[in-house]
Amino acid sequence: MTAPSDGGFPQIDTGPPSPARVYNYVIGGKDHFAIDRAVALGVNQHFPEGVDAGRNNRLFLYRAVRFLARDAGIRQFLDLGSGLPTQNNVHEVAQQFQPDAAVVYVDNDPAVRAHGSALLAKDDKNTAILDADMVDLDDILARPETRRLLDLSKPVAVLFLSVGHFITDDATLQGMIDKVFDTVVPGSYVAFTQMVGVDQQAVDEAHAKLLAFVQMNWKNRLSSDVVRLLRRWEPVEPGLVDITHWRPDPDQPPLPEVDEPLRQFVGASQRNKRLFEFGGIVRKPAS
Ligand SMILES: C[S@@+](CC[C@H](N)C(=O)[O-])C[C@H]1O[C@@H](n2cnc3c(N)ncnc32)[C@H](O)[C@@H]1O
């Protein structure tokens, strides 16, 4: 598919919308095409709380990585479905508190690899970006970059931030989380968020409307499903919650402002919140 040209620039064959670029648009990033902006606007016509959900997730990422590096002393991170680099990327936040923190980023979107490599070229000693399917943890763990940067005999944090809904099969997602549990040492952490509905009706409506509109692999769940997925782990205070309630910090660095067409949706979740990002941080207990 060819996207409409933008401001007189030549037409670019952008292909279908990319979840990484749609999310990048919502959180105020700069790496998106007209097709991604059209999808973000269309989805939010149906679910105006979507912009807040995406932005709240990115704000949670900062608080979660800060907690893991500063308070839990974690110095190695595996970021599954890392998205396009923007501001306050995981290695930048972690290295504020643990200057030698190592981060392995994983994404299967080619744009992430291109943009990520440019950003990480500045820090190829402690960071790497893998073009890989996050479902295939064996492949990820066997890659030379992972073996160089992550020492799995020591605690590690594995991030599943706003990615659970891309794994539509429950058993596959459970298998990924269990595989992490069985691989990492006690004292390791998982940070997990995913889009959930307030009830089954909200989940079903979202599927009917969103999937008719965007052909993406996507599965909203219920908060009880997320709690079940993480039942082997020990939640860190305040537990698994609507992430706006996870250690909120009005003084944390703000996100870049959204583009003008999305402004109408900012704050919509205060009026109507049928879908939201749910999750938190959990720890592998001592056996
Ligand atoms: C909504 S973004 C989240 C980005 C980041 N984790 C954050 O919270 O800011 C989801 C990302 O997951 C990636 N993704 C989806 N399915 C994936 C898969 N099977 N393997 C690797 N990455 C995937 C998408 O390309 C996208 O960049």
Closest CA to 129 of 94, 104, 95: 104
pLDDT tens-place string over residues 7-30? 444 344 467 888 899 999 999 999
Tokens 């923190």 belong to residue: 101
* Percent residues over pLDDT 90 in the chain: 78
How far apart are the C-alpha atoms of 35 and 144, rounded to whole Å? 35
Band (pLDDT 50/70/90 cuts) for residue 140 is: very high
Q: From the alpha carbon of 159, which atom of ligand 1 is closest? A: 6
Probe residue for ligand 1, chosen from 88, 108, 112 as the CB with the greatest number of ligand atoms within 8 Å: 108
Q: Hey, whose CA ends up nearest to atom 16 of ligand 1? A: 166
- Domain 19-263: CATH superfamily is Vaccinia Virus protein VP39 (3.40.50.150)
- The mean pLDDT value of the chain amounts to 91
pLDDT tens-place string over residues 174-186? 999 999 999 999 9
Q: Residue 4: is its pLDDT beyond 60?
A: no
In 27-105, which residue ranges form alpha helices assigned H by DSSP?
Answer: 34-46, 50-66, 90-97
Regarding the beta carbon of 219 and ligand 1, being less than 6 Å apart is answered: no
- Segment holding 195, helix H or strand E: strand 189-197
The reported pTM is 0.94
Q: Residue 234: is its pLDDT beyond 90?
A: yes
pLDDT tens-place string over residues 96-105? 999 999 999 9
Length of the chain: 287
pLDDT tens-place string over residues 63-105? 999 999 999 999 999 999 999 988 999 999 999 999 999 999 9
Are 218 and 162 a contacting pair, CB within 8 Å? no
Band (pLDDT 50/70/90 cuts) for residue 124 is: confident
Band (pLDDT 50/70/90 cuts) for residue 243 is: very high
Q: Where are the domains of the chain?
A: 19-263
- Token output for 150: 């992550």
Per-residue model confidence (pLDDT) at position 12: 41
Regarding the beta carbon of 166 and ligand 1, being less than 6 Å apart is answered: yes
How far apart are the C-alpha atoms of 195 and 203, rounded to whole Å? 9
Per-residue model confidence (pLDDT) at position 123: 72
Q: Residue 206: is its pLDDT beyond 90?
A: no
How far apart are the C-alpha atoms of 36 and 234, rounded to whole Å? 37
Tell me, rounded to whole angstroms, the distance of Cα 201 from its chain centroid.
25
